[in-house]
A and B are shown apart, each in its own frame.
Chain A
Amino acid sequence: MSNEHHDLAIVGAGPAGMAAAVTAAELGLDTVVLDEQQAPGGQIYRNIEALERGGHIEKLGDDYRRGAELAGALRASTATYCPGSVVWQTSPDGRIGLTGPDGARMVHARRILLATGAMERPVPIPGWTLPGVMGVGAAQTLFKASDIVPNVPVVIAGSGPLIYLVALQLARAGCTIAALLVTTPASRIASALKELPRALLAGRNLLKGVGWVQEVRRLGIPLANGVSGLRIDGKDRAEGISYEADGSRHRLAAGLVLLHEGVIPDNQLSLSTRCQQIWDAAQLCWRPATDEWGATSEERIAIAGDGAGILGALAAENLGRLAALDTAFRLDCIDQAERDRRARPERAALARHKRIRPLLDRLFQPAAESLLPTDPDTIICRCEEVTVAQMREAVHLGGEDPNRAKIFTRCGMGPCQGRMCGPTVASLIAHETGRTMAAVGTYRIRVPVRPIPLMTLAGLIGEEEGLPPGESTL
């Protein structure tokens, strides 16, 4: 299996991956798409083919039709689509380790495009580890993938466009939304208005958001703005959520609490491939450094879509196609003039999609308490159950960067490999030491980024050409 070679291997089949694959295949590149899911779409357009076949797209909204078009174009292209393929390693030399339906294998590609998208930002508040506390996106995933909806009163808490959209989607599906608790402070709205003139140029997207808020009100979903001090209670599962609003403390019973403070790039593969990362002070997250074609500090690795910085699903398509054009140029399928000519409409569309971003970034900045939890007993590392107090102590003992703090506390050493605690650990260290996030840095991530049984891994040893028996491919 070690002699599988491609021009371009794309990791992920969301909007960026699908658009990139279609363009790359069209330009004559031997392209393979490695996707964790069973069908193309990514998180945003999850299960879109089945939803379209069943005539159910309207339950999500008309915007999702675009996903069906992209999936159709991918299926019609010459790109090889590999569903159920979990990538646990990408190497700067173009090797990819993955586990697919037929077991583990290594693939070789002249270039790799990471189109791994985004993940919900972890929201470390008291009680967030209880069963019955999930991401807003997690509930939406169940809804899109399996038509599964909550049958208990739901409280949605946090900020960002997604909280309104999911509240509406669930309400239309007959669910009881006990409350929508919005953590955006009132003062933020005034400062975000400065970005409004540019956002107005985005036209339709802005109106769509305003329409969601209006429909939330029209449906009578209880809505509280400027909420803080979120705390989930319950013994073995979530039973309620308390919060501060209008100067007093309130509590609501809730069988399911959905949290959301925006999304951040899923950069686990780019981190493990040692692509240079930068701290994005506007989006308050780490992201890989990319040029205007998605190229990274690693010669063979490019990144497109939200995995390189949050710009949304439509921009992800443009970024995917730009990365594919650059790949075709670098692999001598097209010349520079053709690359640049084909890039022009993509760049124009991208500029349009970017107009609303400064407003969204500012308005929906994550709540301060989710970026920097202050309650000492709040768990920040869900796997190893490390608390705020324990992390503070480790910092004062000398754990002044995330990798040292990890050794002191085991924070980040559990199965999620720091995905859920990384941002919080860095922000606690920055706060305790008075340094910037950029100076504090982030976890070093090592392969495999997804668990793979030792027996499976052992089966690959020696299959790689040029490797003496017994020497690991890692």
Chain B
Amino acid sequence: MFRRSHTPSAGVVIYVDGKPVHAAAEESVAAAMLVAGFTSFRASAVSAAPRAPHCMIGNCFECLVEINGQPDRQACLTIVSDGMHVRRQAEEPGP
């Protein structure tokens, strides 16, 4: 759905569901995942429909993912770091 205009000068590697993803330093987890081709970030709480980032500035909470074991992190507000482990949330995370 997205591509980079330019190759970033510095990069890191994060792991999304175990798959290595190259990201530009200082960019958000959501940006890195979108450009890597992830179209679904989580399943919605009620109908388990696929959801992906909508607002990119922290308001819609559609980009919630598990980061380094912690669920419900906002991927659009979280900056990538080398070796970070991201998991897409498959089901209702909690009550």
A interface residues with partner B (beta carbon < 8 Å): 36, 38, 43, 50, 84, 86, 119-120, 128-135, 137-139, 141-143, 145-152, 173-174, 236-237, 255-256, 266, 382-385, 414-416, 419-420, 450-451, 453
Contact = CB atoms under 8 A, between A and B. Distances in A.
Contact of B79 (A38, A133, A139): A38
Given A147-B5, A383-B61, A414-B61, A142 B56 contact: yes
Given A382-B62, A414-B45, 7 more contacts: A131-B40, A131-B50, A132-B52, A145-B31, A148-B34, A236-B39, A414-B61
B72 A147 contact: no
Contacts of B47: 385
Contacts of A43: 57
Contacts, number: 127
Interface string B29-57: 00100110001110011110111111111
A138 B55 CA distance: 5
Contacts of B40: 131, 236-237
A147 B3 CA distance: 9
A146 B27 contact: yes
Contacts of A236: 39-40, 50
B59 to A, nearest CB: 5
A141 B57 contact: yes
Contact of A416 (B4, B26, B46, B61): B61
Contacts of B57: 43, 119, 137-138, 141
A459 to B, nearest CB: 15
Contacts of B21: none
Contact of B55 (A130, A135, A145): A135
A63 B70 CA distance: 40
A106 to B, nearest CB: 20
B35 A146 contact: yes
A176 B35 CA distance: 17
A146 B1 contact: no
Nearest to A47: B26
B24 interface: yes
Interface of B: 1-6, 8, 24, 26-28, 31, 34-35, 39-41, 44-47, 49-62, 64, 70, 72, 74, 77, 79
A419 B2 contact: no
B77 A146 contact: no
User: Does more than half of chain B's interface fall in helix, strand or loop, or is it mixed?
Assistant: loop
Given A237-B50, A415-B64, A266 B39 contact: no
B56 A141 contact: yes
B42 to A, nearest CB: 10
A382 B42 CA distance: 13
A228 B31 CA distance: 31
B31 A142 contact: yes
A268 B71 CA distance: 23
Contacts of A255: 1
A404 to B, nearest CB: 21
B77 A36 contact: yes
Nearest to B30: A142
Contacts of A451: 72, 74
Given A135-B55, A384-B45, A256 B1 contact: yes
A236 B51 CA distance: 9
Given A142-B34, A148-B31, A415-B61, A131 B3 contact: no
Contacts of B34: 142, 148
A150 B5 CA distance: 10
B31 A420 contact: no
Contact of B52 (A131, A266, A419, A450): A131
22 contacts: A36-B77, A38-B26, A120-B55, A128-B54, A131-B51, A134-B55, A137-B55, A138-B53, A138-B56, A141-B56, A142-B2, A142-B31, A146-B24, A147-B4, A148-B2, A236-B39, A237-B40, A384-B45, A385-B47, A414-B45, A420-B59, A420-B60
Contacts of A151: 1-3
Given A131-B50, A142-B34, A146-B35, A415 B72 contact: yes
B69 to A, nearest CB: 11
Given A142-B34, A419-B59, A453-B70, A129 B49 contact: yes
A213 to B, nearest CB: 25
Contact of B46 (A86, A141, A174, A384): A384
Contact of B44 (A50, A119, A129, A174): A129
Given A84-B79, A146-B28, A151-B3, A138 B72 contact: no
